[in-house]
Amino acid sequence: MVHIDGMEVRPGDLLHGDENGITVIPAAIAAQVAAKAIEHREMEQERLQEILGPDFHTQFETVTEYR
């Protein structure tokens, strides 16, 4: 085990870092966290495909026709 700036990191733990900082994902729940991340990513990809699809803008036509 090591301590990094107050964080306790054990063998097998995952570290996730981005522009906001770093977090430790304990090895005991790493598989669950990864599964949820994949699930979330898939939902985001589905939504992105809807947004980029040819019919996405039609939902706004009735809102803007009264302006």
Residue 9 β-bridge partners = 2
Helices and strands per DSSP (H, E), number in the chain: 2, 4
Average pLDDT over residues 36-47: 96
Domain ranges (residues) in the chain: 2-64
Please tell me the predicted confidence (pLDDT) of residue 17. Answer: 93
Please state the rounded mean pLDDT for residues 49-65: 82
When pLDDT is cut at 50, 70 and 90, the band that residue 52 belongs to is very high
For residue 6, pLDDT beyond 70: yes
Q: Which of 8, 40, 3, 38 is nearest to 26 (CA)?
A: 8
